[in-house]
A = this chain, B = another copy of it.
Amino acid sequence: MKNKRQEAILSIIARSDVETQEQLLDLLNQAGFRATQATISRDIRELKLVKSMTGRGIYRYERAVRQEQPIPKFNSAVTESIVRVEVSLNILVIHTYSGMAQAVAACLDSMKLENILGCVAGDDTIMAVARDERAAALLAETLRNMIHTL
């Protein structure tokens, strides 16, 4: 059901101005779909819809204009030394094999990533400060993917 429903949502918001999830829910019902607000909240996130202004103070759900972030490419010395990556707010905590933290941090520094303000390293732990929470989450995910592909 989920796929059909999400297609229906895309179709609906393409046709009409939807101001609230409640309203979207009504329209879905008319189209024969049964769901709750919680469910379409999740649909909206998965579809990456955004609620934006139109004209005079009126909201409306739309497809996000998706612009890909340029993905930083890491050399293997970095990724092979990383054990685990965690995030809290805008801080990345990167665990490395013992003794590698300094090297990895130096490498990260040298890449001059736009969204990393700086980092400090101990023996097996690096703390990196990202520009904001979004950047932190994004970088963490990228790093984790690098690890998984080893």
Contact = CB atoms under 8 A, between A and B. Distances in A.
Interface stretch (A3-11, A59-67, A68-76, A89-97): A89-97
A86 B118 contact: yes
A117 interface: yes
B129 A93 contact: yes
A44 interface: no
Classify the secondary structure of A's interface with B: strand
A118 to B, nearest CB: 4
Interface residues of A, number: 27
A129 B88 contact: yes
Interface of A: 86-91, 93-95, 101-102, 105, 109, 117-122, 125-127, 129-133
18 contacts: A86-B117, A86-B118, A88-B129, A88-B130, A88-B131, A88-B132, A89-B133, A90-B91, A91-B91, A91-B117, A91-B129, A93-B129, A94-B118, A95-B118, A101-B120, A109-B125, A118-B127, A119-B125
